[in-house]
Structures are given as C-alpha cells and as structure tokens.
Amino acid sequence: MTFAADGNQPHPPRPLRVPRRRSPLAITAIVVGVLVVLAVIAANLYTEVAWYRQVGYFQVVWTQWLARVVLFVLFGGIAAAAVWASLHLAKRARPARSDGRSSLDRYREQIEPLERAVMITLPALVGLIAGGAMASQWQEVLLFLNRQPFGTSDPQFGLDASFYIFTLPVLRSLVAYVLAISILCAVVAAFVHLLYGSIAGGGRKFIASKGARIQLAVLGLIVMLGIAANYWLDRFSLLTKQGTRIYGASYTDVNAVLPSRGILAGIAVIVGILFLVVIWRADWRIPIVGVALMVLAAVTIGGIYPAVVQRFQVNPNEQELETEYIQRNIDATRIAYGIDNVEVTPYAATTEADATALRADAETTTQIRLLDPNIVAPAFQQLQQNKQYYTFEDQLNVDRYVINGLSQDTVIAVRELNLDGLDSGSRNWINDHTVYTHGFGVVAAYGNVLTSDGQPSFLEGGIPSSGLLGDYEPRIYFGQNLPDYSIVGAPEGTPSWELDYPDDASANGQQNTTYSGDGGPSIGNLFEKLMYAISFGDEQILFSDRVTSESQVLYYRDPIERVARVAPYLELDSTAYPAVVDGRVVWIVDGYTTTSAYPYSSLVDASSVFAGASDSLQPTLLNYVRNSVKAVVDAYDGSVTLYAWDDQDPILQTWQSIFPNEIRPMSEISSGLMSHLRYPEDLFQIQRYQLSKYHVTDAATFFSEGDFWQVPDDPNDSTSLQAPYYLTLQMPGQADPTFSLTSNFIPAGDNARNILTGYLAVDSETGDTAGEVSSDYGTLRLLELPRDTTIPGPGQVQNNFNADSEAQTVLNILRQGESTVKNGNLLTLPVGGGLLYVQPVYVQASTGTQVPLLRKVFVAFGDQVGFADTLAEALDQVFGDGASDGTVEPDTGTTTGGSDGSTSGGSTGGTTDTTAAAQARQDLRDALDRAQQAITDGNTALAAGDFAAYGDAQDALDQALQDAVVAQDQLDAALAATSTDGSGSAATASPSPSASPSAS
C-alpha cells in the first residue's frame, strides 16, 4: 500500500538495492559462536539430567521442567495470539483508501515495509515475556491443581485456609495476566487504528469506524472486568495483609474497606457494559464519564471513607472495636506457628540457694554442658586435625549418644577436607580432583567432662577412628567443605591413588583407597568426558588418565545444597549436623513447608529473628511454618532420603500429591536414626520470637502491649540475639531429664530491664524406637516468672560476673599480654527451685597456636555468684559446701592444691599487723612472679606443640593465681587492721606494678 504525495501523483519508484556480500569470516564466527553456545547449553542440560538420574530424583526436575514448558507454551501462546489478533483486527478495520493527505501519512509509509515483521515479532516478544512470567509460577499452579484442605476456616468468610494459600495466589496471577494482556492489546489496537485512519479527529469531533469501535469497546469491557475481578479478590486479600497493629483485616477493613471493594467491583462491571454502548451510539463520552466516576468512587469510597471511619470511629474506641480482630490474629498466629499447645507453668522462682534443692536436681546438674561448641573448634583443629589438609567447621554441633548405657550430651564434628591447607606446590589438577577427594572420620567429645588441663575429653577421634561410637564407614565424600568436584573410582586391580589417611607405618606414609560407592554419575566414556569438560570448563577431564572407564564424578556435595536440589519446594534449616547412624556417617537437614498467606497469622521476616549468622531462611517472609521433612544425606555415597516428619501438614500432603514417590513415611526411620533426630533450631527461634508476644492470649491485654517480651541480646555480643542452646535438663513437671532446646525472655522495650520474665524449653528427644517418635517430642514448655519478683536476666548475670572482684582479679591477670579470656555460652537451667546460670571460661593464646582451654566456671543463682576451677566447686560456693556432692560428675579435672584461703589470726596491734601486711605483700609478689613464669612456660610449650607441658604450666598458673588471691585477702585484712589503730595506710595495699605478669 502506498500513499500519494498530493492525493493524485504516486511517489517515484525507489532505487533497487544491491545486497552487500557478507564476509565469510563473519559468517564463520557467527556459526561457531552459535555452536559453542548450543554446546554449553547441551552440556549443562546433560550434566543436570545425569545428576538427577543418579541421585534418584529425576521426577523432580522432569515435573518442574514439564510444568514450566506447559505454562510457557499455554500462556505465552495465548498472549501472542491475543496481540496478533488485536493487530490483525485493527489492520482489517482500516479504511480502504486514504481520505487525502494527513500528517500520519509519512509514518504509514515508513511502517508499511515493516508490517509483516511487526505482525510476527511483537506477538512473539509479548508471548516470550508473558510465558516466562507465568512459567515462573509453576509451584503455585501445581499446588493449586493438587491442593489439600487445611480443615480450618477463616473467621470472616468461612473459607478453608487452603483457599488463601493455594487458590487465591493463582487467581490473582490469572487476573493480573488478563489485565496486562488486555491493556496491551487495547493500546496496540488504538495505535494501529489511529495510524491507519480508523480513528480520526479529537475532542468533540472524535470519530472511529465501526470496526474500531467494536474492537476497542470489547477490549475496554475485558479491562473493566479484570479490574472488577481484582477488586473482588482484594476482599479476600484483606485477611493476608499487614495492618497498623495486627496482620489481617481490622475493624476498618471489615466494615469500610470490604464493602467498598464490593461496590467498586460492581461499578467496574457497569463501566465495562458502558463500553459496549459505544458500538451502537458511537459516543465515547459515555464510557469516559463512567471511568472518571469510577476513579472518583475509588478515591472517595475506597480511600476517604475508610480513613474517616478509622479516625473518627475506631481511634477513639480502638480497644473495644479491635478486640474481636486482635483475637482472630492471636488464634491464627498460635495455630500457624505451632505454639497453640504450649504448656505454660507459673514458676515462682526463688533467689535463695538451698543445697537440699540442688541435690534434688542431681540428674540435671550432672549433664550441664560446659563444652561450648562455638568456642572449642580451634581445640578440635589443633588436637584432632592431624594434617594440614583436614579441617573442622568453626561451629560444632551438639548431639547425644548412649555411652555405657547412659545418654550423654556430646559435641561432634566431621574431619573434612581443606585443600587450602596444602602448600602451593602441592596444588595441581591431579591432587585437587583425584587424590584429595574426601575427609576422614568424626570427632566427638563429652559435653560435661574435660581433661585435667581443660581440653575436650574425646570419646571418638584419631586416624584411623577409634573410640566409643563403634565401627562405621569413616570416609567423608559429601560434606560442607569439599572440592567442587572430585573424580573417583578405578578399574579393579588398578593401584589406588585416592588419599585415605596418613600412616607412618606405610611405605609411602599414607594409606590410599579407591571409591566403591555409587555417589556420582558415570564419566567413563568419551561423550561423558566431553560433556563434563564443557560444563565444568575444565579440559583436564577430557585428557587425564585418571578418568577411567569406572570413574564417577562427585559434585553438588554440600548436604544442604543436595537436599535443596531434590526438594525445591522446601525451605531448609541453616544447619546440617552429622551423626553416626547404623555404621554410617550421615548429615541430617531439617526441611520446612512455609507460606505467607495463612489468614490472620502474623508475618515474620526470618532475617529479624535469628541469632548469629543463620541465613538459610533469612530471605523468607512467612506466617505459617511446619518442620515437615527430615532429610538425610549419606556422607559416603551422597544418597538423599526424605522422610515425612509431619504427615498431617496440608502443604506437605499437597507436595506428596505432586511427587508421590519422593518422600518416605516416618515408619521407615530406623531406631538408630531416630535417636539422633532433634528439634530444629531455626524453627525454635521463629517460635520463640512469636511467643514473645503471643504468649498473651487475651486480646485486651495484647492491645495494651504491657506484657510483651523479647529475646535478650547475647551477653558476649550485644549485636546479636542470644542463641538457643541444646542441653539435657529436667523442666518442672517432667519425670526425667530430656535433651532440650532452651531460651530466655526479658521485658520488651528499648530501655527494658534485663530481668527474666520467661524461660522456654522444647523437648528435643525423639526416642529410639524405629518409625515412632517420642510422645513428648516437640512439647513447648514455658515457665512464666512472677511479675513482682526480680530474677536476673542473662545481661544482668553477665554484669554480675564482670563485677565480681575476686574473679576479675584472676581474669585480668590472664588477659594481660598475649592471652585471651573467652566467655562460653551462658546456660540457664531451672534448678534448685530457681534458675541457675552456668558459664564456662576459656583461656587461649591471642596469636599463634590457639587452643581454648576451660580454666574456670562461673555459676549464678539469684544475685549469688560462684567462680572456681570446677563446676562442683562453683556450685558449692553458691549453695554451700558439699551442696554438689553426688550431683556433679568431674568436669574439668583441674583439681589443684594450694592454700585454702584461710588466714591466721593475730593481734590488732600495729606492729603485728604491719609485719603481717609485709609478709602478705611479699607472698602476693611471689605468686604473681610464679604466674608470670607459668604463662611464659605455657606459651613456649604451645609454640613447640607440647600440650603435656602446656597443661603443667596451666596447672602452675592456676596454683599461682589461687595463692595470689589468698595473699591479696591477707593483705587487705592486715591493712584494714592497721588502719583501725592509725598505724597503717590503705595506700600501700597494691603491690608494685612491676610485680604483675606482663607476658601472655
């Protein structure tokens, strides 16, 4: 089609274009580039499929890909077809010929050669974008198609919670999709009609052809129906929105916003019908006025009216009017977070120590864990690392094992591989990927027993592994600190080249092994080598003789990553912890099903509730959570097993409908595995965060916020919350001590007093019966302390420790020079009718070889503080001599001799007291000199790696410090007596600074 310049004369013919000859080099480069890209895509696709097939979860990736493709094709095709139809209909509706020369003629002339390209590329582009957007909703669509009921109804509409979690998100996505496509089609159609003259004029002379009117009117109707549907769905979304005070619909939402959304939906439908009137009356003013009135109604009915109701009706009577909706929020939140059955016990905690009461809690005090898993990792590394290419995680894990017939809290770690520990000359492709392929063994230490010099007392360790955990497969091919990939396996009869462990008895100083498991895809033929060489970007795979016909490639080796890949529908705990189960080392990972759409339940930003560096759930906004899956990853063959831990969870039931063969029932859990499962720390931290407010179950009290709590800051690090602690204890009302996870509460507020208001413990003992969890597992027990009694909180207790003059005299000496004093976890236990605080104190060198050694123990009960070498001695200081008899097993073994602290009596005369003061001053100097020498000897022993000598030096240091404390007491007493008769001066009390230790 062409347009005449003056309406009569055609344009002169265009000159013929001579096509330019393309460079063969450019064509070759383009072809090669395309082939390279296709090869990389094919290699990545092949390696992904191979991995999923090998691990046994190909259905997961296949279902995901199939769902994405179907959604992409379906919704991309609909969008592309809608845009193409809109263009086609608009093009057909254009006038048969131009009615004279217009200002748009030159644009029509320029676009005419591009018509065919636009008709293809624009729909295709829209289809790609729309299809990609809807394909990303594959999880929501599959959940909707396989949805299971929750069995709980919302209090406003009476709909099952599944509607909000499974159905509403899909409906909103569909409405948004229809709105976006219909608006785009309307804009495109209007542009084409305007360009080709189907729409002309403006203002009162606005004219459109019948074809244009029909198309734009129908599109206008679709847009208005989409807006109406959006308003209607907004009514339900009110129950899943964050309000000013609560989550969910408030009084104003229910009585003002909810009706307004219904009215606006009706108005939008009416306006849509008005668009159809244009087809017959050709008067665009009718729908335009309708749209203007709808906007006005949206402002007045949807905005101003709710604001008026809130300001003049609700605000003056807020507590009365909001009570019903606050109660809805309380009830829903407690159900959604699994805190609706918390066992609350009023606990009239005493602050007066009673030795008899302490003996009644003998089993709890026996199990007090002094080994801090966040501090002792350097001790594990120095004492059990063995070689520089092994390592342990910085944060160890607490578990329990049956030792000699008794359940024993233990601190456990896996000896993993650390290639960074090798010198640069040992780093090459052969070593990195075929020799150093695995770690070796676990190391476990008693939680409440240490050696005589304060080191961990190991119940399992060494290479080869030995100890009390029995025989097990020690090789760690899958863990948290391993190479990105290793190539393992070799034909039978081939000499082994994988380093197993160092062995001085061997001719070459090490034992080698050949992997015999089924832990990775085959990489034995040329095609497989090529695919992995391309995917990993490593040509050595293709040419190395170490890649044999029996080779396997191990990758995706981190247990959390492996679980995340086979179960993309789960949120995972930040911690994977090891356990020796049925002769194998396994990693246990807790999986959660979550949603942010549970009606009326308060939303949590997970990044605000965790202590420390937990990051797995931090990006997640949620208002419902269940620990629905326990995942187990074998450390030798990498096999991943998912067990349904909460098979009553509707979200898990829905995913089981989608993946019916991927999750095994709890009945398949062995007794050995069951005994090492535990209550997950991330879930507990979320629950304690919600309980800080939602322990209040009365709406009126909740409104006043006067009884809200908060989790205290870590006494040793004010920048983070105090972490929960695993330990064995007996809560009031329990028949026996159980493995538990505990936390504290203090009053909420910016300037809150650091006093204890609540103590929370969850029963983490799963039992040891195959396929059956202990009936008490997961029971949350909350001790509510009297509001009129002051029980020191963790911060206040730490302050009392820091202010104890005798303790700080000792610790200040240890802090001088190059020694560092580190406070361990401040444990809280309900003991002796009150709350007992226990904190181990470690000493380590500031530089060089750092081995934290337990040297002292703090104990607090009420305002009474004990500080001694052992837990038993510290308890005796607080509860009275002999109070710990029969209640505390030997913990540090650092019993030392020395002065008993007594002083000889003497005359109050000035001469006698002056002599006593001089002797005490000399004794103090001698003790400090011996402390200085012991510190020097200890550093020398550490530098030489002589831990026996270091232990002797630490014993000598302990003795010297005790003697120094006794001498200081004698000096103070003598000077006080001298001051009484005027013959002495308190100014002489301090020894010369030169007498203080100055070395590490």
Interval 831-871: pLDDT, tens: 888 899 999 999 888 777 778 889 899 999 988 899 998 88
Q: How confident is the model at residue 896 (pLDDT cuts 50, 70, 90)?
A: very low
Of the candidates 391, 369, 397, 393, which has an alpha carbon nearest to the alpha carbon of residue 457?
369
> Is the pLDDT score of 237 beyond 50?
yes
Over residues 507-535, the mean pLDDT reads 91
Round to the nearest angstrom and report the end-to-end CA distance of the chain.
94
* Maximum mean pLDDT: which of 147-156, 748-757, 879-888: 147-156
Angle at 178 between CA 174 and CA 180, to 5 degrees: 115
The span from the CA of 782 to the CA of 364, in Å, is 18
* Maximum mean pLDDT: which of 136-150, 360-374, 505-519: 136-150
Of the candidates 69, 67, 75, which has an alpha carbon nearest to the alpha carbon of residue 134?
75
- Cβ-proximal residues to 56 (8 Å cutoff; 6+ apart), any chain: 639, 640
Note the pLDDT tens digit of each residue in 639-677. Answer: 999 999 999 999 999 999 999 989 999 999 999 999 999
Q: How confident is the model at residue 435 (pLDDT cuts 50, 70, 90)?
A: very high
Q: Strand 621-622 vs strand 510-513: parallel, antiparallel, or unpaired?
A: unpaired
- DSSP states along 274-338: HHHHHHHH--THHHHHHHHHHHHHHHIIIIIHHHHIIIIIIGGGHHHHHHHHHHHHHHHHHHHTT
- Cβ-proximal residues to 321 (8 Å cutoff; 6+ apart), any chain: 251, 313, 314
- Token pair for residue 795? 């911060």
The span from the CA of 900 to the CA of 897, in Å, is 9
Lowest mean pLDDT, pick from 205-219, 699-713, 760-774: 205-219
- Let me know if 854 is exposed, middle or buried by CB neighbors in 10 A (0-12, 13-18, 19+): buried
> Is the pLDDT score of 405 beyond 70?
yes
Q: Phi then psi for 415, rounded to 5 degrees? A: -80, 100
Q: What is the mean pLDDT of the chain?
A: 85
Of the candidates 363, 521, 500, which has an alpha carbon nearest to the alpha carbon of residue 438?
500
The span from the CA of 375 to the CA of 393, in Å, is 11
How far, in Å, are 18, 261, 265 from residue 302 at the CA level?
A: 63, 7, 11
The residue ranking higher by pLDDT, 948 or 704, is 704
Lowest mean pLDDT, pick from 145-149, 302-306, 688-692, 749-753: 749-753
Residue 914 near residue 978, CB atoms below 8 Å:
yes
Residue 827 near residue 369, CB atoms below 8 Å:
yes
The residue ranking higher by pLDDT, 66 or 387, is 66
The span from the CA of 618 to the CA of 684, in Å, is 14
- Token pair for residue 163? 């509607």
> Is the pLDDT score of 570 beyond 50?
yes
Place of tokens 């019916």: 660
Of the candidates 301, 78, 91, 36, which has an alpha carbon nearest to the alpha carbon of residue 174?
78
Note the pLDDT tens digit of each residue in 910-956. Answer: 333 456 767 777 787 787 778 778 877 877 776 666 767 777 887 88
Percent of the chain with pLDDT over 90: 53
Type of residue numbered 464 = P
- Cβ-proximal residues to 957 (8 Å cutoff; 6+ apart), any chain: 814, 931, 934, 935, 938
Note the pLDDT tens digit of each residue in 950-988. Answer: 778 878 887 887 787 787 777 667 666 654 444 333 333
Of the candidates 482, 567, 489, which has an alpha carbon nearest to the alpha carbon of residue 524?
489
Buried b (16+ CB within 10 A) or exposed e, 742-753: bbbbbbbeeebe
The span from the CA of 685 to the CA of 692, in Å, is 11
Place of tokens 């290479």: 463
Of the candidates 799, 712, 801, 692, which has an alpha carbon nearest to the alpha carbon of residue 752?
712
- Cβ-proximal residues to 95 (8 Å cutoff; 6+ apart), any chain: 196, 197, 198, 209
How far, in Å, are 918, 922, 971, 994 from residue 990 at the CA level?
A: 12, 11, 9, 11
Over residues 870-893, the mean pLDDT reads 72
The span from the CA of 119 to the CA of 895, in Å, is 90
Q: How confident is the model at residue 510 (pLDDT cuts 50, 70, 90)?
A: confident
Q: How confident is the model at residue 484 (pLDDT cuts 50, 70, 90)?
A: very high
Q: Strand 663-664 vs strand 485-488: parallel, antiparallel, or unpaired?
A: unpaired
The whole-number pLDDT of residue 531 equals: 94
Residue 238 near residue 260, CB atoms below 8 Å:
no
The span from the CA of 493 to the CA of 849, in Å, is 43
Give 499's strand partners: 512
The whole-number pLDDT of residue 161 equals: 96
Residue 48 near residue 57, CB atoms below 8 Å:
no
Place of tokens 């050949």: 514
Evaluated on CA atoms 624, 629, 635, 640, the torsion sign reads negative
Type of residue numbered 370 = L
Note the pLDDT tens digit of each residue in 720-750. Answer: 889 999 999 999 888 888 999 999 999 988 7
What are the DSSP E strand ranges found in 397-541? Answer: 397-403, 406-414, 416-417, 439-440, 442-450, 456-461, 466-467, 475-476, 485-488, 498-502, 510-513
The span from the CA of 858 to the CA of 841, in Å, is 7
Q: How confident is the model at residue 401 (pLDDT cuts 50, 70, 90)?
A: very high
Note the pLDDT tens digit of each residue in 30-39. Answer: 888 888 899 8
> Is the pLDDT score of 124 beyond 80?
yes
Q: What length is written for the chain?
A: 1000
The whole-number pLDDT of residue 290 equals: 85
Q: Phi then psi for 41, rounded to 5 degrees? A: -60, -45
- Cβ-proximal residues to 638 (8 Å cutoff; 6+ apart), any chain: 55, 477, 478, 517, 519, 520, 554, 557, 562
The span from the CA of 95 to the CA of 91, in Å, is 9
Residue 361 near residue 813, CB atoms below 8 Å:
no
- Token pair for residue 193? 């009609």
> Is the pLDDT score of 1 beyond 90?
no
Q: Phi then psi for 842, rounded to 5 degrees? A: -110, 150
The whole-number pLDDT of residue 4 equals: 42
The whole-number pLDDT of residue 362 equals: 74
- Token pair for residue 471? 């025989």
- Token pair for residue 5? 């310049």
> Is the pLDDT score of 601 beyond 90?
yes
- Token pair for residue 789? 């009694």
- Let me know if 130 is exposed, middle or buried by CB neighbors in 10 A (0-12, 13-18, 19+): buried
Residue 318 near residue 794, CB atoms below 8 Å:
no
Half-sphere exposure of 226 (CA within 13 A, CB side): 18
Q: Phi then psi for 302, rounded to 5 degrees? A: -85, -20
Peptide bond into 830 cis (omega under 30): no
- Cβ-proximal residues to 274 (8 Å cutoff; 6+ apart), any chain: 286, 287, 290
Q: What does pTM read for this prediction?
A: 0.84
> Is the pLDDT score of 422 beyond 90?
no
Half-sphere exposure of 10 (CA within 13 A, CB side): 5
- DSSP states along 534-574: HHHT-THHHH-TTS-TT-EEEE--SHHHHHHHH-TTSEEEE
- DSSP states along 744-808: EEEE-STT---B--EEEEEE----SBTTB--TTTT-EEEEEPPTTS--B-HHHHHHHHHH-HHHH
Over residues 606-631, the mean pLDDT reads 76
The whole-number pLDDT of residue 253 equals: 93
Does an H or E element contain 522, and which?
none
The whole-number pLDDT of residue 3 equals: 40
Residue 419 near residue 407, CB atoms below 8 Å:
no
The whole-number pLDDT of residue 618 equals: 52
